[in-house]
């Protein structure tokens, strides 16, 4: 029997007290009016947090630097042009090299089913949460003074561009694998197989069918890698030496060493403009990826490798991961154990004594980092959780660009943020210059975007009709959140906390300004030790880097037990 036009299709009856799918609940308009104040209140917390602890310091220090009118002089200086050229060149080269080396791994994890696949995916994710100082230390141990490469072949590349590029590939490998591989796993392989049945060769079928579908994910991954390498600081600081400097390193040098705020302010604006353009492009590619494709269950697309070619590809991927990702970390551990009298724990024991480099023993940095990281994670969860919840409300949808605005700390100069804290948060009611809370506040700015990115897809998956029905039935906004959103948000809460904690541990650009001499963090302590001459200081830096690496690894393993990391993003 036919259905009259406008009549809803037959189906199961809705649960008692909830509207039928496709129908507006009674009092629908009142429910939405009731939800608006809650959305506005949720928006207020992240808006105030970012305005006070991000916008105000960055704008204040930039305005102070630009007050002398030296913008044209700084921009036309030969040194500035050299720094800009190297920043752009190394970011483009790092992005291209990362894509070339990571795309085979993205394909293997997307299309091949083999033992240890989930373990390999988790292992590939480890470098992304590693502090950049540890990444630089690992490649210094592999390619630098007394490193493995020098011992085997007499070659030392500690201040080579190749060392910088490979370190950037190490750090960003998982960005490509998880972004591109996550989409690749959800593309129907039958379309490519149909093209081959119609006479297209393997490469032609991939180029005409799969590549256009992957283009948005490829663009998004490339832009994110470019963003991270364009603003690189820790890796360049450790491996670049005096010969190479990115914009971020030059901002640090002009601010901390030369005390030239006008030059630093101009360079900050240049970097900010480039980051804003990259984030705008990235948001556009993400929207294309979300709206233009029909996807299938990724579990249906993976199969065992077939033929010598596919097994050789998988073997090449495993070899690349072993050499590029595992070897540097293994050499870092080996260097930390190597002493003048052979292998032992001498460098680790030296961490418990102060030799004048620190006001306290270097080992105190472990306690400081854990304490700061825990507080930063709590702040990031509160602010990021409120932002993610607000972005799912009517008020959050009305504020266009707010989502992208919250991502700006990922690409803004952390050096500028740290120095801005010192010169702006020094008067009532925010006289925090001598307070320890400055460090976790700066670290939380980096953690909030990860919390939002992990929690937002989960909260957006909640059927808004459930919230509307609960509001119509008299539930307050707080009860709607507690009864409907929170049970689902718990799925993402602990993974978000894990990533926020890991990135807080590794924050360096702002912390190097804010950490007190008697309370250094692990990255700051490693950088100070690497800046000293002598094998003892070098060995202690390797030992402290190994400790920092172990803490990040334990965090990621705990995160993996809470919820297995799947392809598709962070």
Decide which of 3.40.50.970, 3.10.400.10, 1.10.3720.10, 3.30.43.10 is the CATH code for 33-62+345-565: 1.10.3720.10
pTM here is: 0.76
Contact 314, 113 (CB under 8 A): no
Q: What angle do CA 236, 448, 226 make, to 5 degrees?
A: 35
Contact call for residues 97 and 165 (beta carbons, < 8 A)? yes
Give me the pLDDT at residue 37, please. Answer: 55
Q: Which residues of 519-528 are buried (b: 16+ CB within 10 A; e: fewer)?
A: bbbbbbbbbb
Residue 34 confidence (pLDDT): 42
DSSP 136-175: HHHHHHHHSTT-HHHHHHS---TT-HHHHHHHHHHHHHHH
Q: Please measure the distance between the N-terminal and C-terminal CA atoms of the chain and give it in whole angstroms.
A: 49
DSSP-derived secondary structure for 179-193: HHHHHHTTS-HHHHH
**What contacts 415, CB < 8 A, 6 or more positions away?**
233, 248, 251, 252, 255, 256, 264, 509, 510, 512, 513
**pLDDT score at 2:** 41
- At residue 563, the pLDDT reads 53
Residues 6+ apart with CB under 8 A from 483: 470, 475
For domain 70-292+299-343, give the CATH superfamily: MetI-like (1.10.3720.10)
Tens of pLDDT, residue by residue over 371-381, are 999 999 999 99
Residue 303 φ then ψ, to 5°: -145, 165
**Tens of pLDDT, residue by residue, the chain (570 residues):** 444 444 444 444 444 444 444 444 444 444 444 445 556 777 888 989 999 999 898 888 888 777 767 778 888 888 888 999 999 999 999 999 999 999 999 989 888 888 888 778 878 877 877 778 878 888 877 876 666 766 766 666 555 788 889 999 998 998 898 888 877 887 777 777 777 787 777 777 777 777 887 887 888 888 889 988 998 888 888 888 778 888 888 888 888 788 888 888 888 888 888 888 887 777 776 665 555 455 666 666 778 888 888 899 999 999 999 988 888 888 888 888 987 778 888 889 888 887 666 677 888 888 899 999 999 999 999 999 888 888 877 655 556 667 777 778 877 778 888 888 888 888 777 888 788 899 999 999 988 988 887 887 777 777 777 777 888 888 877 787 777 777 777 777 877 888 788 888 888 888 888 888 888 898 888 888 887 877 888 888 889 888 888 887 777 767 656 554 443 444
Q: Determine the pLDDT at residue 95.
A: 95
CA distance 331 to 136: 12
Please provide residue 461's backbone torsions phi and psi, each rounded to the nearest 5 degrees: -75, -15
| Cβ count within 10 A of residue 511 | 26
pLDDT digits (tens, 9 = 90+) for 330-369: 888 888 898 777 888 888 988 888 766 667 788 888 889 9
Structural domain spans, the chain: 33-62+345-565, 70-292+299-343
33-62+345-565 and 70-292+299-343 in the same fold: yes
């Amino acid at each position: 029997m036919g259905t009259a036009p406008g009549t809803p299709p037959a189906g199961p009856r809705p649960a008692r007290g909830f509207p039928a799918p496709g129908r507006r609940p009674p009092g629908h308009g009142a429910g939405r009016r009731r939800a608006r104040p809650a959305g506005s209140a949720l928006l207020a917390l992240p808006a105030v947090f970012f305005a006070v602890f991000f916008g105000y310091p960055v704008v204040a220090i930039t305005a102070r630097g630009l007050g002398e009118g030296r913008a044209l002089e700084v921009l036309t200086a030969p040194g500035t042009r050299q720094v800009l050229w190297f920043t752009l060149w190394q970011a483009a080269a790092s992005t291209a090299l990362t894509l070339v080396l990571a795309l085979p791994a993205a394909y293997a994890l997307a299309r091949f089913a083999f033992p240890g696949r989930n373990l390999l995916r988790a292992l590939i994710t480890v470098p992304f949460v590693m502090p950049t100082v540890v990444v630089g230390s690992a490649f210094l141990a592999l390619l630098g003074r007394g490193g493995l490469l020098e011992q085997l072949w007499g070659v030392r590349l500690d201040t080579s561009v190749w060392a910088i590029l490979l370190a950037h590939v190490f750090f960003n490998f998982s960005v490509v694998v998880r972004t591109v591989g996550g989409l690749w796993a959800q593309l129907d392989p039958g379309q490519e197989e149909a093209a081959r049945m119609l006479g297209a060769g393997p490469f032609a079928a991939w180029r005409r069918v799969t590549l256009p579908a992957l283009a948005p994910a490829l663009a998004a991954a490339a832009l994110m890698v470019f963003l991270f390498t364009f603003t690189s600081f820790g890796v360049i600081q450790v491996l670049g030496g005096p010969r190479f400097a990115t914009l971020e390193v030059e901002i640090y040098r002009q601010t901390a060493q030369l005390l030239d705020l006008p030059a630093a302010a101009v360079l900050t604006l240049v970097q900010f403009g480039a980051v804003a353009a990259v984030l705008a492009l990235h948001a556009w590619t993400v929207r294309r990826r979300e709206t233009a494709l029909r996807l299938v269950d990724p579990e249906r697309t993976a199969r065992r490798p077939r033929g010598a070619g596919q097994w050789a590809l998988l073997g090449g991927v495993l070899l690349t991961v072993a050499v590029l990702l595992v070897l540097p970390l293994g050499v870092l551990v080996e260097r930390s154990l190597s002493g003048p009298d052979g292998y032992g724990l001498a460098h680790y024991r030296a961490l418990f004594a102060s030799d004048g480099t620190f006001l306290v023993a270097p080992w105190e940095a472990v306690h400081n980092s854990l304490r700061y990281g825990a507080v930063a994670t709590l702040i990031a969860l509160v602010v990021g959780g409120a932002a993610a919840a607000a972005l799912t409300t009517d008020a959050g949808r009305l504020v266009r660009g707010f989502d992208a605005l919250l991502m700006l700390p990922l690409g803004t100069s952390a050096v500028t943020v740290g120095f801005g804290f010192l010169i702006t948060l020094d008067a009532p009611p925010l006289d925090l210059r001598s307070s320890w809370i400055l460090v976790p506040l700066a670290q939380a700015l980096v953690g909030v975007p990860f919390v939002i990115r992990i929690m937002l897809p989960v909260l957006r998956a909640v059927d808004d009709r459930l919230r509307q029905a609960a509001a119509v039935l008299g539930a307050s906004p707080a009860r709607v959140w507690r009864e409907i959103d929170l049970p689902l948000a718990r799925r993402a809460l602990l993974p978000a906390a894990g990533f926020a904690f890991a990135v807080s541990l590794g924050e360096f650009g702002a912390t190097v300004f804010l950490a007190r001499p008697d309370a250094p963090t692990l990255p700051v302590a490693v950088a100070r030790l690497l800046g000293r001459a002598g094998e003892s200081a070098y060995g202690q830096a390797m030992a402290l880097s190994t400790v920092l690496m172990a803490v990040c690894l334990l965090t990621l393993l705990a995160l993996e037990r809470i919820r297995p990391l799947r392809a598709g993003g962070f």
